[in-house]
A = this chain, B = another copy of it.
Amino acid sequence: MSTNQPGPSASFGTPPPPKLLSGVKNIIAVASGKGGVGKSTVAVNLAMVLAETGASVGLLDTDIYGPSLPLMMGICERPTGDPRTGLLTPLEKHGLKLMSMGFISDEKTAVIWRGPMVHKMITTFMGQVDWGTLDYLVMDLPPGTGDAQLTITQTAPLTGAVIVTTPQDVSLIDARKGLLMFQQVNVPVLGIVENMSYFVCDECNKRHEIFRHGGGRRASEELGIPFLGEVPLDPRVTLGGDQGAPVVTFAPDSPASQALRDVARNLIVQLEATAAQRIPLPTLNLTGIGK
């Protein structure tokens, strides 16, 4: 068992006050049926691209087992609490407000938690960050369809979810599971992103489909979900991610960055379509009738 369980345990079990997220217009979960598909990479870069449009954007890394945001954003400092409110203030970098379990736990310690502890931890963590007013809060979910994901999808008032997959069949089975999870908790899936879609050799321009290709689009068609785009493999994605500079900043003109901008544009379109469906019908105020 981990001996240094982070977080203010005094309020464990208290559900997060809904008002804490009431200043956030769109809460977008970035999910994957399995890990290692580049979900965090997509989440971080989508948040960056959304911020490039002038929007105020927060990024919440909820992966308690393998938080990658500290490294990907190059953050070593720890967040401070506001003594007046008792809430954590998000850190800021690359124009984003950031919070991660990795900011408050030791990266060299295995975080081994039993299910009920996971539930309490996430609920507490989500309720104790002061995001203020945001246009978008991008939530990087833990991979899979387990306890933590279930807690998060039930706790946060999600606007919608983005599912990241790799092209091959094994990952698609997992992506379908992610989709079914969101359907079961009534969260609209805004679209699928195929990451690690292909690789182009920069010496001879040969295109390699290392993890196969096209499964993301096929899954979106099969499942009736928008396809947001495909992002190629590129060593600069890894290199930037390991140096705290997401690829859209590290190599803004690379094909991977251009692909990520396309994905963000398609995401905004889907968010607007979803919002349009949610607008309530106008209330007719017919005076004099029924009096």
Contact = CB atoms under 8 A, between A and B. Distances in A.
A208 B239 CA distance: 13
B180 A144 contact: no
A212 B184 contact: no
A145 B34 contact: no
Nearest to A177: B110
Nearest to A69: B170
Contacts of A269: none
Given A212-B239, A242-B168, A66 B34 contact: yes
Contact of A209 (B107, B113, B235): B235
A176 interface: yes
A145 B114 CA distance: 10
Interface in A118-175: 118-119, 143-147, 149-150, 166, 168-171, 173-174
A58 interface: no
A251 interface: no
A115 interface: yes
A238 interface: yes
A284 interface: no
Interface residues of A, number: 63
A146 B145 contact: no
Interface in A187-219: 199, 201-204, 206, 208-212
Nearest to A36: B36
A245 to B, nearest CB: 13
A178 to B, nearest CB: 7
Nearest to A175: B66
Given A34-B35, A115-B115, 12 more contacts: A66-B174, A108-B180, A112-B145, A114-B147, A118-B146, A146-B147, A201-B203, A203-B204, A210-B210, A210-B233, A210-B234, A210-B235
